[in-house]
């Protein structure tokens, strides 16, 4: 069976994402307790942090150690340009220290630490190793070290997303959501009167971390959630894993739409028009990052839509892990023309038709696809 075929890869991927979530949690805490020095600007003006580069180096090193660097091809968001400038010695030193701190904790997660601390050159090598461009054949890991950097620097939602693509298909996905509690009180900071209550239970001790890690293997028909590890706890597989499922709500009047917080990333007025035309009544829930896919997979919302401005090309690392988790939890993900997303064309989702629509089930999905079809000509996208 496909799922068993990737059991080892999936378990290692979950463990490394736990390490990365702990790393991000520590950096985010420092970000708020000290100063903003670690936040810089990328060309596209999105903030990039020590966490981004450190997660990429840490995951790259751990995957290469576990599977052998000759067997590991990684497509990931970050490169070393920003830490290669003359004035970035401080940032580079912070990355090296963070990576070493994080790798030293690997045994707590059932992974191997390096025998000695990594030198700067080795950290740079680990980051640069992630320069694969994917494609239609072979096995490629796909990593977004910190997805939702805007959410991250605001102390809000963000995700660590790791997927494996084989011969152009996503075969496993792991989403670490450090600020998305297992027992959700509210995901929605933007509309106070709209609360998301999760039915996820309870077998998880209170002392466990506040976030969660979601994962699934293609074709298994199962998606799982584990709590993050807090304090001195250690990760003992399967770490309180529980099955998750999409919501059974298919009445638009009861359904919740999830979408990006940033207007620049998705056209809010277009999605509002679609929502109205299919009969959605609730306020949209605006959430940073791939936590939106997690919300659909967990049954905390029913619809995720993203319509980027025309000309924007979606990257595979912003979707791969989320898509397989939603599908295995029982949901449906397609472009706005109803076609499956194509992960076989390199770093971009080439051929994507207008936008992305993920739903808990086909009833809602069909309605939204029909609404896009009916309204497209009159939109300004
Ligand atoms: N102009 C744009 N339109 C659509 N998506 C964009 C965008 N600019 C950046 N993004 C992507 O949107 C992601 C954030 O998603 P969201 O808005 O749903 O939180 C970013 O991930 P990073 O934060 O990893 O860079 C980035 O890949
Ligand atoms: Mg991203």
Considering the candidates 49, 80, 98, 149, report the single residue annotated as catalytic: 149
Distance 148 CA to ligand 2 centre (A): 6
369 shares its domain with 227: no
The answer to whether the CB of 246 falls within 8 A of the CB of 332 is no
Q: Check whether 12 has a pLDDT greater than 70.
A: yes
239 shares its domain with 256: no
The answer to whether the CB of 76 falls within 8 A of the CB of 60 is yes
124 shares its domain with 266: no
Q: What residues does the ion ligand 2 have nearby, CB within 5 Å?
A: 144, 147, 318
317 shares its domain with 236: no
Q: What is the pLDDT of residue 290?
A: 98
- The number of folded domains in the chain is 2
Q: Check whether 44 has a pLDDT greater than 50.
A: no
The answer to whether the CB of 133 falls within 8 A of the CB of 77 is no
Distance 194 CA to ligand 2 centre (A): 26
Model pTM score: 0.93
Q: Which residues contact residue 237 at a Cβ distance below 8 angstroms, ignoring those fewer than 6 apart?
A: 11, 110
Q: Spell out which residues line ligand 1, taking CB within 6 angstroms.
A: 46, 77, 144, 147-149, 260, 262, 264-265, 288-289, 308, 312, 315, 318
CA 355, CA 336: separation in Å to the nearest integer?
Answer: 5
pLDDT band of 207, cuts 50, 70, 90: low
Q: Check whether 34 has a pLDDT greater than 60.
A: no
Is 77 labeled as ligand-binding?
yes
From 190-199, 236-245, 316-325, the region with the lowest mean pLDDT: 190-199
Is 377 labeled as ligand-binding?
no
CA 17, CA 212: separation in Å to the nearest integer?
Answer: 10
From the CA of 151, give the closest atom in ligand 1.
Answer: 19
From 30-34, 36-40, 152-156, 298-302, the region with the lowest mean pLDDT: 36-40
SS3 content of the chain, % helix, strand, coil (to 5): 40, 20, 45
State the average pLDDT for the chain.
90
321 shares its domain with 197: no
pLDDT band of 82, cuts 50, 70, 90: confident
Rg over CA atoms, the chain: 20
174 shares its domain with 297: no
310 shares its domain with 166: no
End-to-end CA distance of the chain: 43
Q: Check whether 194 has a pLDDT greater than 50.
A: no
Is 318 labeled as ligand-binding?
yes
DSSP characters over 217-277: ETTSS-EEEEEPP-TT----TTTT-EEE-------GGG--EEE-S-TTTS-HHHHHHHHHH
CATH number, domain with residue 303: 3.40.190.80
114 shares its domain with 261: no
Tell me the pLDDT tens digit for each residue of 89-115.
888 898 999 999 999 999 999 999 999
Structural domain that includes position 38: 2-244
Q: List, in sequence order, every residue forming a beta bridge with 356; answer none if it has no partner.
A: 306, 335
Q: Check whether 186 has a pLDDT greater than 80.
A: no
Q: What is the pLDDT of residue 24?
A: 94
Of the residues 244, 267, 299, the one at which a domain ends: 244
CA 78, CA 43: separation in Å to the nearest integer?
Answer: 12
From the CA of 288, give the closest atom in ligand 1.
Answer: 19
131 shares its domain with 214: yes
156 shares its domain with 258: no
Smallest CA separation from ligand 1 atom 3, residue:
265
CA 372, CA 137: separation in Å to the nearest integer?
Answer: 33
119 shares its domain with 209: yes
85 shares its domain with 224: yes
Mutation test of ligand 1: which of 147, 154, 349 has the most ligand atoms closer than 8 Å to its C-beta?
A: 147
CA 180, CA 159: separation in Å to the nearest integer?
Answer: 9
Q: List, in sequence order, every residue forming a beta bridge with 355; answer none if it has no partner.
A: none
Smallest CA separation from ligand 1 atom 12, residue:
265
């Amino acid at each position: 069976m496909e799922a068993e075929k990737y059991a080892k890869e999936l378990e290692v991927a979950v463990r490394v994402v736990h390490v990365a979530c702990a790393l991000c949690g520590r950096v985010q805490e420092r970000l708020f307790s000290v100063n903003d020095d670690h936040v810089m600007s990328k060309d596209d003006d999105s903030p990039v942090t020590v966490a981004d580069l450190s997660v990429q180096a840490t995951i790259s090193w751990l995957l290469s150690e576990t599977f052998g660097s000759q067997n590991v091809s990684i497509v990931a968001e970050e490169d070393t340009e920003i830490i290669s400038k003359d004035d970035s010695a401080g940032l580079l030193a912070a990355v090296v220290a963070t990576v070493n701190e994080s790798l030293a904790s690997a045994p707590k997660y059932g992974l191997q630490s390096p025998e000695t601390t990594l030198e700067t050159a080795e950290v740079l090598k680990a980051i640069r190793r992630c320069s694969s461009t994917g494609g239609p054949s072979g096995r490629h890991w796909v990593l977004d070290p910190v997805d939702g950097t805007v959410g991250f620097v605001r102390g809000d939602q963000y995700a660590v997303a790791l997927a494996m693509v084989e011969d152009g298909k996503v075969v496993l996905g792991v989403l670490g959501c450090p600020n998305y509690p297992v027992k959700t009180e509210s995901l929605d900071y933007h509309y106070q009167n709209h609360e998301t209550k999760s039915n996820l239970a309870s077998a998880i001790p209170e002392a466990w971390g506040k976030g969660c890690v979601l994962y699934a293997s293609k074709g298994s028909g199962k998606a799982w959630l584990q709590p993050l590890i807090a304090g001195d706890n250690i990760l003992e597989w399967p770490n309180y894993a529980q099955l998750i499922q999409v919501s059974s709500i298919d009445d638009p009047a009861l359904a919740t739409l999830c979408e990006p917080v940033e207007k620049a990333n998705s056209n809010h007025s277009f999605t509002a028009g679609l929502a109205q035309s299919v009969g959605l009544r609730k306020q949209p829930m605006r959430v940073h990052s791939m936590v939106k896919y997690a919300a659909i997979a967990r049954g905390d919302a029913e619809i995720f839509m993203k319509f980027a401005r025309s000309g924007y090309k979606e990257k595979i690392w912003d979707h791969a892990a989320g898509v397989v988790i939603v599908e295995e939890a029982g949901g449906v993900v397609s472009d706005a023309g109803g076609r499956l997303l194509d992960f076989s064309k390199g770093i971009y989702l080439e051929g994507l038709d207008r936008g992305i629509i993920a739903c808990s089930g086909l009833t809602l999905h069909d309605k939204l696809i029909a609404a896009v079809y009916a309204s497209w000509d009159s939109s300004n996208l």
